[in-house]
Chain A
């Protein structure tokens, strides 16, 4: 038994590939907790960043700089009364949030946080993620239907139409990235890990290969993924001025918080796809150009140093806290938080840990950029009208994405042919 557990540690593949059920379960739990913590953090971060972009300060009272606000919110949601409309379809109403959460978290099975840090490596990874994440629309429509109310029904129908139409543009750009994987090797792959390794082999992120094509694909994807997850400026299913809260209208308390969790988890899932396909997944910057043992060592120090810098920032703001009795607990809390971050940073600098942690660090950083982009879009752009949304989806993004696929194919074939001629 113990041998079975320990024997995985010597391998350098994902637990799924090694066929080790124990580590698969451990990884699944780790990913689940990690994503949940990420959702909690995103909740705080979104409110803070949005507040600052709107020249406000955001949550300040619960914990230092409002750090405990999401926990307080979660507690409130759990304690809140869980209402069900009188004539609601009880089973469907109950199952809708479960369905949404399941689909949102299922996609993370294939997300490679590092070469070994994925639950499993599926040979149809991207396809699996797209398929599972588009199942989320089923839960949304179930929620709208089961609520037995006008607003949720309208909201869920809008959501269905929107997700289906943006899915196509999204998949087209994914096809272009998958075609790029076949460049050096001749055989393309749909496996998430394979795609990242292809980028390593081709010495470039797919965002920069075939110059305007890759970046256009990323641009189309980064617009389509906002629409796909029903976020601003494409948050028509939840347009509060028209539909109250869309399909969420009749949901309250814990069920509502499940929808919230699922929304953020699916945001992270599509960010993870974008990172894997175009921004080199877990690869650190310039893995080939700045190769060698020295650069490897230098880059492996970065995660620990980041955490130490964050800790220093916390301690700096601790010294800037107002000297008042009312603020003493907050100040101490901030200092404690800084201390914990510093400890994590020191642990990350340990030689054994830092090689293993850096993949996850770079992946999270890149995916975090997309999460920031979500917040940024939300504060900047006003909501589109529904016909404008459909127009962008079908008349702008779809032609561009088809063009991207065709161009990728043409340029790829040309390069291969040239390579044949010159050989």
Chain B
């Protein structure tokens, strides 16, 4: 044991250094806690939360009803139904059911989508009291689910 080590041991320098670290962290600027309902966290764009069906700038649905998402889904929770438009000979989406209660937010549907219509948005407040609201239909996916906002 060298002299410096001995001195450090004797005067409990290591303990004092530790105390200085904890003392320093009392600075209110160091705080990282968010007070959730009042302060909302900033979620990354890449976060996989609530699924949404997007529209283009003119308000036309981007979905081409190809059904690739339904095929890609490992849980088989997406149901796509479509009709062929007799004039344009294109598929038109009639129903899009998404069972959120079975979803594990893997994002494979999002990757499979060729027209960038289906996306997992960063909305994260998905908790419900019952299972009923978990089955999302086409309108809910297009407009986004309006959760109840609690005001005190």
Q: Using CB atoms and an 8 Å cutoff, list the residues of chain A in contact with chain B.
A: 49, 52-57, 60, 322, 324-327, 376-377, 379-381
B35 CB within 8 Å of chain A: yes
Asked if A52 and B26 make an inter-chain contact with CB atoms under 8 angstroms apart, the answer reads yes
**B16-24, B40-48, B69-77, B126-134 - the one binding chain A:** B16-24
A-B contact pairs, 28 of them (CB 8 A): A49-B26, A52-B25, A53-B22, A53-B23, A55-B25, A55-B31, A55-B32, A55-B33, A56-B31, A56-B32, A56-B33, A57-B35, A322-B38, A324-B38, A325-B152, A326-B38, A326-B151, A326-B152, A376-B19, A376-B22, A379-B22, A380-B15, A380-B18, A380-B19, A380-B21, A380-B22, A381-B15, A381-B18
Closest B residue, CB atoms, query A373: B19
For B37, what are the chain A residues with a Cβ–Cβ distance below 8 Å?
326
Q: Using CB atoms and an 8 Å cutoff, list the residues of chain B in contact with chain A.
A: 15, 18-19, 21-23, 25-26, 28, 30-33, 35, 37-38, 151-152
Closest A residue, CB atoms, query B35: A60
Closest B residue, CB atoms, query A53: B22
Distance between Cα atoms of A57 and B36 in the complex (Å): 12
Distance between Cα atoms of A379 and B25 in the complex (Å): 11
- Chain A nearest CB, measured from B8 CB (Å): 16
For B32, what are the chain A residues with a Cβ–Cβ distance below 8 Å?
55-56
For B151, what are the chain A residues with a Cβ–Cβ distance below 8 Å?
325-326
- Chain B nearest CB, measured from A334 CB (Å): 15
- Which of B22, B23, B26, B38 has most chain A Cβ within 10 Å? B22
Asked if B33 and A57 make an inter-chain contact with CB atoms under 8 angstroms apart, the answer reads yes
Given contacts A376-B22, A377-B19, 9 further A-B contacts (CB under 8 A): A53-B25, A54-B25, A55-B30, A57-B35, A325-B151, A327-B38, A376-B19, A380-B15, A380-B21
Closest A residue, CB atoms, query B32: A55
Asked if B23 and A376 make an inter-chain contact with CB atoms under 8 angstroms apart, the answer reads yes
Closest B residue, CB atoms, query A324: B38
For B33, what are the chain A residues with a Cβ–Cβ distance below 8 Å?
55-57
Distance between Cα atoms of A54 and B22 in the complex (Å): 7
Closest B residue, CB atoms, query A49: B26
Asked if B18 and A53 make an inter-chain contact with CB atoms under 8 angstroms apart, the answer reads no
- Chain B nearest CB, measured from A219 CB (Å): 9
- Chain B nearest CB, measured from A369 CB (Å): 13
Closest A residue, CB atoms, query B28: A52
Closest B residue, CB atoms, query A54: B25
For B15, what are the chain A residues with a Cβ–Cβ distance below 8 Å?
380-381
- Which of A49, A377, A380 has most chain B Cβ within 10 Å? A380
For B21, what are the chain A residues with a Cβ–Cβ distance below 8 Å?
380
For A57, what are the chain B residues with a Cβ–Cβ distance below 8 Å?
31, 33, 35
Distance between Cα atoms of A28 and B21 in the complex (Å): 41
For A322, what are the chain B residues with a Cβ–Cβ distance below 8 Å?
38
